[in-house]
Every structure is written in structure tokens, then in C-alpha cells.
Structure 1
């Protein structure tokens, strides 16, 4: 069975889970912009003329090099770790470095505004090195494969073997004892026994009857639920086809 779990959340929790994170991220990035732009201006970035037609303030690129870079590094590090990509260590180091850079940039900018410190040759040099370092690391992390699976099914070892089992070994797992997976009928029979006994059908109770962990029982329940939805959809499609033919 695949390592997927179906979770039913309350309506308010679904709204927070779906929309809360992007809202917080956007607000945090917006609040970081003034300090990072100010720090860039302190380091000497300002208005630049492009071909004599447009004038832009390149200091506004600093939030992209700091806060957006930190967000990108965190996402790339998570994806690299989940999928075992070759650049996962570099991505993890970059994520931590980007977070430290974002925090430091905000602190230094506000210290200067509050007259706790002034600019210096070291500060100007450090801030000036941010864009090329960010560009270098992003190009390095871009060495990942062109495409990665957005949905990955992982075979859970808990479904294949557990400590103490003395049964036939499964192919492909040399030296590891194997425990055969349960059939859909066995899981349904266990659920029926729980209901007959007046017990609540929970992963913990089902796991005790099946002699499996609660985590494994939860996956069995999710698989049954998906199978039931599939059968129901097929029945509805067949009913609609019959009505059309009539």
C-alpha cells in the first residue's frame, strides 16, 4: 500500500491550511522589503538609467536577493530532501544561510535607522556581496533534474516486515523477514468485528485486531475509503449511462 493518509479537517481548519500559509508568507515578505531596500541604499545602490529611457532603483532588488531567496531555498531544500536529489545538502545549507542572512539584514537595517550603529567599509562590502553569492547558489541548486514527481508513492517498510516476525522473506529485501500485506476482505472483516463489538473504528482499535501499528491501520482505512469512492463513482457513471440509453 502507498504511504498516504486521508485526513478530514473541519471547514475552518481547511481554510487556514489552504490560505493561511500563503497570506502569512506574502505579508512577511512585504514587511521585510523596507529594511532590505534601506540596507541596499546604505551600501550604495540607487537609481540607474537604462539606455537613457528608464530610471529604476536597483535597491528594490535586495528583497528578492534576501527574503525571496530564503523562501526559495527553504522550498528547494524540502523538495530535495523528500526526493533524495543530489543537491539536497547544498540546498539545506543554503536554506539556513538564507534565513540567517534575512534576519541579519533586518536587524542591521533597523539598527542603522535607530542610530544604534552606522555604516562601515565592512558592512558595505558584505551587503555588496549578497547578489553574486545568491546568484551563484541558485545556479548551483538548479543542477537538479528537469522534472520531479509531484506525487510520490512510497512503500512503507511497516507493511512489509516488522521486528520479531519469522515468516518467509519477501523478494527484493535480502536478509529481512517479511510480513504479507492484508487483503481488503481481511480489513473489512476486522472493521465488522469492531462494529459488532460496539467498538469505535479507530486506527488504534483496528491496529490491535489486525496486529499492526496504528499508522499502518490508518493507511488501510484510507485505502478502503478511496476504494469505496471509486466504486461509488463507477456506479454513478454506469447509472447515468443507463439512463441515457433508455
Structure 2
């Protein structure tokens, strides 16, 4: 069977579902979860109108934490705490539904409301605010540290030239052509030195991807570049 013919017979709405379907599902889920979270806020003591802030609080918390956890690379500033926040917000939203339904169906009584429930629900808004402020602060710190200062940028070209001058030359075979080019290893080290002095953080895997070599070779080239920079900074 020809795959192209099969794809041509797929209705257009099937292709639309992954792009347009998930926002519809997200809205429906939020509408279905909001009453339970609102009821718990009412049971905890908030006014009926003010209690609608609870589902908004949990929805915004879950969305921000999930977005930050997805966008930030593993090991980056604020990634771990965003992942924790995403799981906590998901757990809080999931717990709110069965607990509120237990009150609605009469299995539990809200007169008076259980102390543990009042305390737990009352702590949600300040905890959400504190964690979101922490995520925002870690994002601002990451932005400031990723942009080198003006004085550092001005001195880096000179440091780059000094570092390149101490890169150990690797033995090369004499080519029959009169034009002699630099060894591939030396060229790779110079490229990594340029990136390091520009403020880029490199790993062995990233160096290998940039140079188009194996991870082991990329790690050796990166070690040579860092050694050259260390000699410059120590002189």
C-alpha cells in the first residue's frame, strides 16, 4: 500500500486535532475542576465570590510551573524547582476533586469542616505565591548571568588571543602542497576557546556536537581549551 495515498485520504479534521484539540480539552478540564476547588475554598472559610480565586490560583500555578519545567534545560537554574512545582500543582488539583466530591455526596460533613482541610486549603495561596516568586527570581538571575558585563566583553578578545597563543601545536604530516594548514585538533581547540571566552558554557557532549566529532574527542578538545584559558588566567 502506498503511504502517500493513505495520507491523502486522511480527513483534514484529523490533522487539526493535535493543534486545535488540546486547547479545547484544556478549557473543558479547567471548567470541570474549578467547582471542586471553589467548594474547598468555601469550606475553608472564604467568601463564595472570593473563593473563585482558588481555581485560578491552581491553574496559573500549574501552567507556569509546567512551562518553565519544559523550557529550561535539565540542570539549568530553576529547572528542578519548576519540576517539583509542576508535580505539586498536579497533585493539588487531583486531590481537590475527590475531596470535594466526598463532601458533595455526603460521605464527609462540612459542619464543622475538618481542621486538616481548613489548614491545608488556607496554606495554598501563600505557598503558590512564594514558589512563583522563587521561579521568577531564578529566571532573572539566569538572564543576568547569561549576559556578560561590558568590561568583561571588552577584555575577552585580548584574552582569546593570549589563550590561542598557548594552545599546544599538534604534530602534522607534511603535505605535498606548499600551503600548510593548521591541524584539525588545533582548529577545534581554537573554536572552543572562542566560545568559552564569549561566556558560553560547554559540556563534552555540546563540544562534540559543535565540532562534529565523537563525545570522547570533544571532551579532550574541551579539556585542552580550558587548560589554555587557565594558563592565561594564571599568568
Normalising by structure 1, report the TM-score.
Answer: 0.52
* Alpha-carbon distance in structure 2 between the residues aligned to 1:111 and 1:93: 27
Preserved CA contact (<8 Å) 2:44 2:121? yes
Q: Does 1:137 align with 2:189?
A: no
Of the three residues 107, 131, 136, the one matched with 1:116 is 107
| Aligned alpha-carbon RMSD (Å) | 3.4
Question: What is the alpha-carbon distance in structure 2 between the residues aligned to residue 61 and residue 69 of structure 1?
Answer: 12
Map of 2:164 onto structure 1:
none
Distance in structure 1 (CA, Å) of the matches to 2:34 and 2:219: 56
**Structure with greater helix percent:** 2
Is 1:76 the counterpart of 2:77 in the alignment?
no
In structure 1, which of residues 56, 61, 66 is the aligned counterpart of residue 53 of structure 2? Answer: 61
Q: Which residue of 2 aligns with 1:89?
A: 80
Question: For the residues of structure 2 that align with 1:98 and 1:89, how far apart are their CA atoms?
Answer: 14
Does the Cα contact within 8 Å between 2:208 and 2:215 map onto a contact in 1?
no
Task: Report the Cα offset of residue 142 of structure 1.
Answer: 0.6
* RCO comparison, higher one (Cα < 8 Å, 6+): 1
Aligned residues, how many? 151
Measure the CA separation in 1 of the matches of 2:218 and 2:60.
Answer: 49
- 2:99 counterpart of 1:98: no
1:15 partnered with 2:16: yes
Q: Does 1:128 align with 2:119?
A: no
Aligned partner of residue 85 in structure 1, secondary structure: coil
Distance 1:40 1:171, change over 3 A: same
Deviations along 1:159-202, whole A, 9 cap, x unmatched?
823479xxx87995448xxxxxxxxxxxxxxxxxxxxxxxxxxx
Deviation at 1:18? 1.5
Structure 2 unmatched runs, 5+? 1-6, 144-204, 225-235
Between 14-23 and 118-127, report the one with greater CA deviation. 14-23
Q: Decide whether the 8 Å contact of 2:208 with 2:219 is kept in 1.
A: no
TM-score when scaled to structure 2? 0.55
Partner of residue 211, structure 1: none
